[in-house]
Amino acid sequence: MTSAATAFTLAIFKPHLVKNPVAYGAVERLIESSGIRIVTRKQVHLTQPEAEQFYRDHQGKFFYRRLISLMTSGPLEVLVLSGENVVNRWRELMGPTKVFKAVYSNPECIRSLYGLTDTRNASHGSDSVASFLTEAALFFPNQEFPPNNTTTTTDNYESNGHHHQNTS
């Protein structure tokens, strides 16, 4: 397999982005125009234990309680994205975690345009394929995502009617 093989990543639109229909639509258009495919998606409202499980690697960090509070404050949109080198491509679209840095280093990225603070930075993305597998299991436990599959299109994995397919 080559590094250009189709892979998957998890994306989360944080509550303040989901609550803003203009920003939400703009981020969806950014994804579509980038050539990244939305495989499946769902809206969830995390409980505190679910948020703590998801962000367990950040436990003990100064921003942990604030992050848990944000992620349980309203509905999230959780998406599985696919495409060549999708982990890096999605992270590039999101931009730096720190909004202030994003504004100066990448003014057209999602976090620069729609992030409010370093915690309320609009979006989350898996940092590796291994992280994706762990994260996807929490949100999509009954769905399989074959790693580095170059022959299967993501259309085979569409799971609901919320996705409007970009056919271009």
DSSP 148: T
Q: What pLDDT band is residue 158 in, cutting at 50, 70 and 90?
A: very low
Residue among 141, 119, 3, 11 nearest 63 (CA): 119
pLDDT tens digits, one per residue of 12-55: 999 999 999 999 999 999 999 999 999 999 999 999 999 999 99
Which two tokens mark 85? 């080198």
Among 16, 45, 58, 124, which one carries the catalytic annotation?
A: 124
Mean pLDDT calculated for residue range 61-73: 96
64 three-class SS? helix
Is pLDDT above 60 for 164? Answer: no
pLDDT band at 6 (very low <50, low <70, confident <90, very high): confident
Check whether 156 has a pLDDT greater than 60: no
Give the residue numbers of the binding site.
14, 63, 91, 97, 111, 121
- With cut-offs at 50, 70 and 90, classify the pLDDT of residue 146: confident
Contact 157, 143 (CB under 8 A): yes
Q: Active-site residue 124, yes or no? A: yes
Could you tell me which residues are annotated as the binding site for ATP? 14, 63, 91, 97, 111, 121
Per-residue HEC secondary structure of 112-143 comes to HHHCCCCCCCCEEECCCHHHHHHHHHHHCCCC
Rounded to 10°, the helix 21-34/86-94 angle is 140
